[in-house]
Amino acid sequence: MTHPAHRIVELAPDDDLFPSWCQVWAAAGRDARPDDPPRPAQEHLALGRELLAPGGSRDGTHRAVLVDGAVAGALRLVLPLKDNPSLAVVDLAVHPAARRRGLGSALLAEARALAAALGRTLLVGEVDEPGPGAPGRAFAERHGWSCDLVETRRELALPVDEDRLAALEDAAAAAGAGYELVTWRDRTPEPLLSDRALLERRMTTDAPHGDLPVGEEEWDGDRIREHEGTHLARGRTVLSAGAVAGGRLVGFTDLQIPLAQPVLAHQGGTLVLREHRGHRLGARMKAAVLRELAAGFPEVRRVSTYNAEDNTPMVAVNEQLGFRPAGVLSSWSARL
């Protein structure tokens, strides 16, 4: 490993260097998945502003590694404030042209020092692995991180086969008689807000998390509104469907569409409360948002989703809809 002369600097979303910092992520994204539009700078900008604004549910800080004055690598550290007080989430990337020269390791050392100074003792990070040999895996292993969760990414080519979708809708409607299906866009209807918060909390306990040492998250209506605002600020619209029984929201699914380049939509969370499982509500809600997607955004070509392989019911729904495997997302952790 040769170590070029480099310098690590702190930066903020409105600094002159920030656009180059965003370009590192875009270049890393294009390198890993050439067919996907890279995350637009607006996403990093909005997230960055949210992390630095007081009063939110998480804090954060940004660093760039400079070589000859140019940004060659990017680090974002995210610190939950309402739960998981020992946790720091590490997000880092090095420009493909500047790799294997120790810059990633320098940024990781910086992340460890920052986290320790902020009183955090547990680091977690994710690695996108489109196929075997993804650099992030070798890097994480080299630094002694443990792989706690592997989720399969699946993609659905659009439009969905009409017969397949109609068959699934019919079966799901029959199994879920007694549940009302509701849809909304971007803003959870006020009467369902506190139920929606409970569902988000359950996402952190009920969805399989492998060995990831993260705890239950604290969600209330205000945090849901903050979360919704972040999506809008990032330039995403969110199509949601929910299942209602006795006036209470007992399940939801979210589908996010990046508006600047609406080519690839991202499946967000999907959850049905334990006591309401077994009625095919997950399938019914997912079919409903796919209908909304086709009606409102016919230009979207693909949907991506992530599932732990032991999440059998969710994987089965996705396979029925026609989702097919497209690599994995691994989650890693290290103790300080």
Ligand X SMILES: CC(C)(COP(=O)(O)OP(=O)(O)OC[C@H]1O[C@@H](n2cnc3c(N)ncnc32)[C@H](O)[C@@H]1OP(=O)(O)O)[C@@H](O)C(=O)NCCC(=O)NCCS
Q: Which residues within the stretch 243-272 sit at the binding site for ligand X (CB under 6 A)?
A: none
Which positions from 20 to 59 touch ligand X by CB under 6 A, shown as an x/- string?
A: --------x-------------------------------
Which residue, 145 or 219, has its beta carbon nearer to ligand X? 145
Q: Does 139 bind ligand X (CB under 6 A)?
A: yes
Main-chain dihedrals φ then ψ at residue 133, nearest 5 degrees: 85, 15
Which residue, 127 or 149, has its beta carbon nearer to ligand X? 127
Which residue, 91 or 292, has its beta carbon nearer to ligand X? 91
Q: Does 316 bind ligand X (CB under 6 A)?
A: no
CA atoms in the 13 A half-sphere facing the CB of 150: 11
Choices 79-87, 103-111, 185-193, 217-225 (CB under 6 A): range interacting with ligand X: 103-111
Q: How far is the CB of 24 from ligand X (least distance, A)?
A: 8
Which residue, 18 or 179, has its beta carbon nearer to ligand X? 18
User: Mind spelling out the 3-state secondary structure of 53-79?
Assistant: CCCCCEEEEEEEEEECCEEEEEEEEEE
How far is the C-alpha of 58 from the C-alpha of 50, rounded, in Å? Answer: 8
Which positions from 175 to 214 touch ligand X by CB under 6 A, shown as an x/- string?
A: ----------------------------------------
Q: In 133-263, where do the E strands start and end? A: 146-157, 180-185, 236-245, 248-258
Choices 86-94, 153-161, 167-175, 311-319 (CB under 6 A): range interacting with ligand X: 86-94
Q: Does 65 bind ligand X (CB under 6 A)?
A: no
Q: Does 273 bind ligand X (CB under 6 A)?
A: no
Q: How far is the CB of 104 from ligand X (least distance, A)?
A: 2
Q: Does 138 bind ligand X (CB under 6 A)?
A: yes
How far is the C-alpha of 26 from the C-alpha of 17, rounded, in Å? Answer: 15
Question: How many chain residues interact with ligand X (CB under 6 A)?
Answer: 21
How far is the C-alpha of 180 from the C-alpha of 201, rounded, in Å? Answer: 22
Choices 55-63, 131-139, 179-187, 233-241 (CB under 6 A): range interacting with ligand X: 131-139
Q: How far is the CB of 334 from ligand X (least distance, A)?
A: 11
Q: In the chain, where do the E strands start and end? A: 6-11, 58-67, 70-80, 87-94, 122-129, 146-157, 180-185, 236-245, 248-258, 264-272, 302-308, 324-335
How far is the C-alpha of 61 from the C-alpha of 111, rounded, in Å? Answer: 10
Which residue, 102 or 221, has its beta carbon nearer to ligand X? 102
CA 305 and chain centroid, separation: 10
Q: Does 105 bind ligand X (CB under 6 A)?
A: yes
How far is the C-alpha of 291 from the C-alpha of 321, rounded, in Å? Answer: 12
CA 318 and chain centroid, separation: 18
Tell the burial category of 55 from Cβ atoms under 10 Å away from its Cβ (0-12, 13-18, 19+). Answer: exposed
Which residue, 86 or 105, has its beta carbon nearer to ligand X? 105
How far is the C-alpha of 161 from the C-alpha of 322, rounded, in Å? Answer: 8
Positive or negative torsion for Cα 100, 103, 106, 107: negative
DSSP 97: G
Q: Does 1 bind ligand X (CB under 6 A)?
A: yes
Which residue, 70 or 166, has its beta carbon nearer to ligand X? 70
Q: Does 125 bind ligand X (CB under 6 A)?
A: yes
Q: Name the 3-class secondary structure at 197.
A: helix
Q: Does 77 bind ligand X (CB under 6 A)?
A: no
Q: How far is the CB of 130 from ligand X (least distance, A)?
A: 11
Q: Applying CB under 6 A, which residues contact ligand X?
A: 1, 28, 90-94, 99-105, 125, 127, 135-136, 138-139, 142
